[in-house]
Amino acid sequence: MNEHNRPHTSTEGTSMKTREASGPSKMTARSLWENLKDQSASELIIENLIRLSGISVIVVVTLIFFFLLREGSAAFLDIPLRQLFGSRWYPIEGLFGLWPLMVGSFWVTIGAVVIAVPLGLTTAIYLGEIAPLWQREILKPFIEVLAGIPSIVLGFLGWVALAPIIQNLGAPSGLTAFTGSFILAYMSLPTIISITEDALYAVPKEYRDGSLALGATQWQTIWRVVLPAARSGIVMAIMLGIGRAIGETMAVMLVTGNAANIPEFGFGALFQPIRTMTATIAAEMGEVAQGSLHYNVLFGIGIVLFVVTSGINLLATRLVGGRGKRRPGGRL
Amino acid sequence: MKRQQTQKLAVGIITTVSFLVVVPILLVLIFMIANGIGGISWTFLSQPPRSGMTEGGILPAILGTIFLTLGTAIAAIPLAIGAAIYLSEYASDNRLTRLIRLAIVNLAGIPSIVYGLFGLGAFVLFLNFGTSILAGSLTLGLMTLPVVISTAEEAILSVPQEFRVVSLSLGATRWQTIRHQVLPHALPGIITGVILGLGRAAGETAPILFTVAAFYLPELPQSIFDQTMALPYHLYVISTQIPGMPMEIQYATALVLLLIVLSLTLIATFIRSSMRRRREW
Amino acid sequence: MSNPKPKLSIQNLFFTYGDETEALRNINLDIMENELFILFGPSRSGKSTLLRLMNRLSDLSEGGQRQGKILFNGSGIFSRKVDVINLRRRISMVFAIPTPLPGTIYDNLTYGLKMAGMRDKATLDERVARSLQQAALWDEVKDRLHTSAFALSGGQKQRLCLARSLALEPEVILLDNPTSGLDPISTTIVEQSLHELKQQYTIIMVPHSVQQAARVADKAAFLLDGQVIEVGRQKDLFVNPKDQRTEDYVTGRFG
């Protein structure tokens, strides 16, 4: 009311005063004011662009899913589900059974998890709780280097160096699920190690001090206090490690033998050649005709991968919850 | 003192296992360098492949990877930094923001081969870019988004809040405050994130399989609508698709790719630590 | 200028933070031009909150609830039509913890002006010199204007922050405990400069102590639990307080 009747006081009052005070200066409050108006126009554009790029992230995810559906939904519509989840993958004969590929992905991933989780957690505990600073400074760059090695290079190494070793151990071929698991384990180690280390780091120092003050040994403190306190972060580390392993393509393609058969259930399965969902897409997409059923099914596998990895990631964040939370600072 | 023995044993095991993790990494590096260094020569780096790729060099693949990395940077950087600024400085804690964060987590988890499928469906076919540097760069760019957004946001949040408040209290607008007080101090962190993301993109094979990579091209690409060779795909091709490929060339190619990607990682780490030391506050 | 109208008039002001803590309850205050007005009281009594409301830095605390108004030169600062940026240039704030921005002394002093679009080097130089003189810092830094502001001592930093606000030539200066952490000599320098500054500016200040309040105030308001207990001229309030709580606080029985 009172306020709205005099919206302009704010400009006029000042220009007088500032002019008096600034003496020889030609800049008046009014010209400050006008400058501001000009800036505001361009700032409005910039701020809207910033908003747009924030929102675009949602658009990108939606578009990815949309295009996968667009090219791949026919696989689920045109092929009877019994056949689609059947046990034979012979695209040449029109048999698109995804089951062997899923089993292949499953075995390789399980193998990778079994190897990577104990190694990763132990290394994270060592780096976070035991190693003296100088060792940490030497060891951590190695973990970063490992994270930086391209998957094709690791695949190449598995192919030229690891597979012959495994064959010498008595497997019929060096290209087995285990070979893939081993490479994948090393690929997911950096993820597991760094997230676990963050989780350990987040455990308040008072917990450790309290436990040690009660006479517990360092190991008892780690085992009984620190690890339980960091539990949710560790779960997240493991799940994201799994997500990384399922989605990996080139390395497993080179070293798992690419045989779309269903291995017998059990330990022996790890030493048979298998083929993963990711490798199937990579190996066959180059040779299919666009729009063919085979093409659609490869996109259909993409949909499965998208849904599975999204599910794992969402579950991991949901379970942990706190990690996505904003810290103080920032935000104007 | 049984407890003390358990303690010693546990620490011993943990230490041993950690070295079991780290030593192979060192061995891999040594192995790669030992086997690859002999094949690297000026000819190898500066010549195109000859006689069915069993001789000559890998210049087109190196250049292709450089082009793709630059393209990725152009595609990803503006969008990623914009999104990071939005999340750290503009977004309030509401549903939209949570949805954006969810989307980023999701993007980070999507397998690289699925990005490749998307690039094929959206850029190559739907937008009709064909298999081209443009389609490949866009695909790699989207894949790089989550890494760059996360590190950039972290860098922006690490700028002390006081600088923002002081700037606003001196009559700066929100954007001026971001432009003059936030971004300059967050820059090293942002650059680190960008380089890490680009390092990852440079080494990726799956996203470029169907969007840009060429098996063999005697000539360099002339425009962004051309295909190109690229190092990761080239390594895949020569190690699996061509029988009788000399091992020396394979190792040397793998080493060159490894060195390019690792040097990007190293540069990023170096920028991060050196800028931390130079900080005034 | 015999202007009976207050420079700032706070009317029925309530403020609650986003976490539902009530910070201010029904504040009514009139602050006249060229007055040195002191807001004092125990910690968490709402002084700083009130100060931050006056140039709407309170906008930054998410979810804050506000009722009532503050009139600046007769017009409401919370009105939708008010340009907050311009308001902050005219009602400028100096914080308790001296916070130089990264950069040189000169950069700090010209920041607000440059953001307002001022480019003229001569004018900038002149404003820098004058604001430093007003803040009693000129002699100490005139030869190193282009060195880092972080190299200054605590007392110098605080005066730099004051000068940085003065460079904008505001009408009102809000000082949130400007001598916190300063040595006695620096405190004296700042207090002396206040007396000169109020010839030209209206100053609202949260003091470091009751003693400081009594030394520098023209007029003061005693706040307790987000409410104004008593307002008065310096002699009345510190010598003959009317309210028992004010007397207890002024004589040091609590706080």
Q: Which residues of C touch B93 (CB under 8 A)?
A: 62
Q: Quick one: pLDDT band at residue A321, thresholds 50, 70, 90?
A: low
Phi-psi region of C218 (alpha: psi -120 to 50; beta: other; left: phi over 0): alpha
User: Is C83 within 8 Å of A36 when comparing Cβ atoms?
Assistant: yes
C-alpha distances in angstroms, A284 versus A163, B121, B123?
23, 15, 19
How much is the mean pLDDT over chain A? 81
Q: Shortest Cα distance from A88 to chain B (angstroms)? A: 23
- β-pairing, C65-72 vs C172-176, is unpaired
Average pLDDT over residues A312-316: 87
**Which of B169, B181, B280 lies at the smallest CB-CB distance from C57?**
B169
Q: What local confidence, expressed as pLDDT, does residue A265 receive?
A: 61
Confirm if A195 and A237 have CB atoms less than 8 A apart: yes
Q: What local confidence, expressed as pLDDT, does residue A266 receive?
A: 63
Q: What local confidence, expressed as pLDDT, does residue B274 receive?
A: 80
Neighbours of A242 (CB within 10 A): 24
Q: What is the pLDDT of residues A248-264, one digit of tens each?
A: 999 999 998 877 777 66
Residue where the block lists tokens 């070979």: A179
Q: Pick from C62, C76, C32, C66: which is nearest to C46 by CA?
A: C66
Complete domains list, chain B, with CATH: 59-234 (1.10.3720.10)
Residue B37: CA count within 13 A, CB half-sphere: 6
- B178 vs B187: CA distance, rounded Å: 12
b/e for B157-179, b at 16 or more Cβ within 10 A?
A: bbbeebbbbbbbbbbbbbbbbbb
Burial label for A138, CB within 10 Å (0-12, 13-18, 19+), is exposed
User: Is C123 within 8 Å of A17 when comparing Cβ atoms?
Assistant: no
Query: Taking CA atoms, what residue in B is nearest to C150?
Result: B280
Q: What local confidence, expressed as pLDDT, does residue A184 receive?
A: 93
Q: Residue window 26-85, chain B: list those with CB within 8 Å of chain A.
A: 26, 28-29, 31-32, 78-83, 85
C-alpha distances in angstroms, A66 versus A3, A60, B121, C235?
51, 10, 10, 75
Residue type, C42: P
Q: Which residues contact C236 (CB under 8 A, 6 or more apart)?
A: C242
Residue where the block lists tokens 């029925």: C12
Interface residue A329 vs chain C (CB under 8 A): no
Q: What local confidence, expressed as pLDDT, does residue A83 receive?
A: 83
Q: Pick from C237, C166, C170, C245: which is nearest to C207 by CA?
A: C237
Q: Which residues of C touch B165 (CB under 8 A)?
A: 57, 60, 95, 99
Neighbours of C231 (CB within 10 A): 18
**Which of C102, C112, C150 lies at the smallest CB-CB distance from B170?**
C112
- β-pairing, C22-31 vs C8-16, is antiparallel
Q: Which residues of B touch C97 (CB under 8 A)?
A: 162
How would you write B123-189 as a 3-class SS string? Answer: HHHHCCCCCCHHHHHHHHHHHHHHHHHHHHHHHHHCCCHHHHHHHHHCCCCHHHHHHHHHHHHHHHH
Q: What local confidence, expressed as pLDDT, does residue A33 receive?
A: 37
Residue where the block lists tokens 């973990």: A143
Q: Residue window 143-182, chain B: list those with CB within 8 Å of chain C.
A: 162-163, 165-173, 176, 180-181
Confirm if A86 and A97 have CB atoms less than 8 A apart: yes
| Helix axis angle, B247-278 to B2-36, nearest 10° | 120
Chains that touch B (3 or more CB pairs under 8 A): A, C
Alpha helices in chain B (DSSP H): 2-36, 42-46, 59-85, 95-109, 112-119, 133-157, 161-169, 174-177, 183-203, 206-209, 231-236, 247-278
Interface A–B counts its CB contacts (< 8 A) at 287
| Helix axis angle, B59-85 to A29-78, nearest 10° | 120
Q: Which residues contact A38 (CB under 8 A, 6 or more apart)?
A: C117
Residue type, A78: D
User: Is C85 within 8 Å of B165 when comparing Cβ atoms?
Assistant: no
- β-pairing, C65-72 vs C75-76, is antiparallel
User: Is A39 within 8 Å of C117 when comparing Cβ atoms?
Assistant: yes
The CATH architecture that domain C8-250 belongs to is 3-Layer(aba) Sandwich (3.40)
How many secondary structure helices (H) and strands (E) does chain C include?
A: 10, 10
Q: Which residues of A touch C56 (CB under 8 A)?
A: none
Residue type, B39: G
Chains that touch A (3 or more CB pairs under 8 A): B, C
Residue where the block lists tokens 């900080």: B279
Q: Residue window 18-57, chain A: list those with CB within 8 Å of chain C.
A: 18, 21-22, 24-27, 29, 31-33, 35-36, 38-39
Interface residue A9 vs chain C (CB under 8 A): yes
Q: Which residues of B touch A305 (CB under 8 A)?
A: 111, 113-114
Confirm if C250 and C241 have CB atoms less than 8 A apart: yes
Q: What local confidence, expressed as pLDDT, does residue A328 receive?
A: 39
pLDDT at B189 over 50: yes
Q: Quick one: pLDDT band at residue A9, thresholds 50, 70, 90?
A: very low
Q: What is the DSSP string of C92-128?
A: EEE-SS--PPSSBHHHHHHHHHHHTT---HHHHHHHH
Confirm if C97 and B162 have CB atoms less than 8 A apart: yes
3-state secondary structure of A176: coil
Q: What is the DSSP string of A284-296?
A: HGGGSPTTSHHHH
Q: Which residues of A touch B235 (CB under 8 A)?
A: 152-153, 156
Q: What is the DSSP string of A226-254?
A: IHHHTHHHHHHHHHHHHHHHHH--HHHHH
Confirm if C116 and C74 have CB atoms less than 8 A apart: no
Element (H, E) at A196: helix A177-201
Query: Taking CA atoms, what residue in B is nearest to A247?
Result: B111
Question: How far is Cα of residue B213 from the mean position of the Cα atoms in its chain?
Answer: 17
Q: What local confidence, expressed as pLDDT, does residue A30 receive?
A: 34
Q: What local confidence, expressed as pLDDT, does residue A5 receive?
A: 38
Interface B–C counts its CB contacts (< 8 A) at 64
pLDDT at A52 over 90: yes
- The token pair at A199 is 């989780």
Q: What local confidence, expressed as pLDDT, does residue A25 receive?
A: 30
pLDDT at B106 over 70: yes
- C230 vs C243: CA distance, rounded Å: 7
Average pLDDT over residues B25-31: 92
Average pLDDT over residues A162-177: 84
- A234 vs A225: CA distance, rounded Å: 14
Q: Quick one: pLDDT band at residue A326, thresholds 50, 70, 90?
A: very low
Average pLDDT over residues A189-218: 90
Complete domains list, chain A, with CATH: 2-77 (no CATH), 82-321 (1.10.3720.10)
pLDDT at B281 over 70: no
pLDDT at B83 over 70: yes
Q: Which residues of A touch B96 (CB under 8 A)?
A: 55
- The token pair at B14 is 């943990």
- What are the average pLDDT values for consecutive 10-residue runs of chain C, which has 255 residues? 75 86 88 92 88 86 83 87 86 89 93 90 93 90 92 89 92 89 84 88 92 90 91 85 88 76
Q: What local confidence, expressed as pLDDT, does residue A140 receive?
A: 85
Sheet hosting strand C36-40, strand order edge to edge: C91-94, C172-176, C202-206, C36-40, C219-224, C227-233
- C163 vs C127: CA distance, rounded Å: 10
Q: Shortest Cα distance from A25 to chain C (angstroms)? A: 6
Q: What local confidence, expressed as pLDDT, does residue B142 receive?
A: 96
Query: Taking CA atoms, what residue in C is nearest to B164?
Result: C101
Interface test with A, best of C83, C119, C133, C168 (most A CBs within 10 A): C83
Of the spans A19-33, A107-121, A160-174, which averages the highest pLDDT? A107-121
- A257 vs A158: CA distance, rounded Å: 12
**Which of A4, A27, A332 lies at the smallest CB-CB distance from C120?**
A27
Question: How far is Cα of residue C94 from the mean position of the Cα atoms in its chain?
Answer: 6
Q: What local confidence, expressed as pLDDT, does residue A323 receive?
A: 44
Q: Shortest Cα distance from A22 to chain B (angstroms)? A: 18
User: Does B84 or B50 have the greater pLDDT score?
Assistant: B84
Percentage of chain B modeled with pLDDT above 70: 98
Q: Shortest Cα distance from C196 to chain A (angstroms)? A: 15
- B58 vs A88: CA distance, rounded Å: 40
Confirm if C155 and C88 have CB atoms less than 8 A apart: no
Confirm if C87 and C55 have CB atoms less than 8 A apart: yes
Q: What local confidence, expressed as pLDDT, does residue B1 receive?
A: 61
